[in-house]
Amino acid sequence: MGINELENLLRLGQLKAEPPTSAEIEIHLQSGRDRLRDALVPGLSLSSRFLLGYSAAYAFALAALRRQGFRPANRYVVFQCLPHTLGVGPEIWRLLGQAHDVRNGFEYEGSDEVTEDLGLQVIRCAEVLDRLL
């Protein structure tokens, strides 16, 4: 599934080839599931739920990429690879790319562009990725 595209990213230096281990993949999956469960706790702040949902989606996307035998050069490329690792469409990987930018602004620049709609969409994307794994 999409291995040619992943090999192209390898040649461009966006991915590194590395054999996966089942233990590592299981850790990513468990981390994603823990964070997704926590993101669904209604009493948490919007920012916390967003960051937990984003982290869950990232863990699931990374597990999918590692299963293919690749490690990313940066966080964003993990979401770009989703069409080739899990067969998802642009409605998921583009939204997660947008969430990545919001997360970086929140974490590194002190901006808070997290909206309730974006938070809910990120959590829904994480749920989809979990089901596909």
Q: Kindly list the distances between the CA atom of residue 97 and the CA atoms of 69, 77, 78, 101, 120, in Å, as whole numbers in the listed order.
A: 22, 9, 9, 7, 15
pLDDT for position 82: 96
Instruction: Report long-range pairs for 38-44 (Cβ below 8 Å, ≥24 apart).
Output: 39/123, 39/126, 40/123
Reading the block at residue 45, the tokens are 């702040």
pLDDT for position 2: 60
Mean pLDDT of 6-33: 96
Q: Kindly list the distances between the CA atom of residue 118 and the CA atoms of 22, 90, 96, 98, in Å, as whole numbers in the listed order.
A: 32, 16, 10, 9
Over residues 59-91, the pLDDT tens digits come to: 999 999 999 999 999 988 999 999 999 999 999
Alpha-carbon span 113 to 101, nearest angstrom: 10
pLDDT for position 1: 46
Alpha-carbon span 123 to 132, nearest angstrom: 14
| pTM, two decimal places | 0.93
Please report the sign of the dihedral spanned by the C-alpha atoms of residue 71, residue 64, residue 83, residue 119: negative
Alpha-carbon span 3 to 26, nearest angstrom: 22
Alpha-carbon span 30 to 66, nearest angstrom: 14
Residues in CB range of 110: below 8 A, 6 or more apart: none
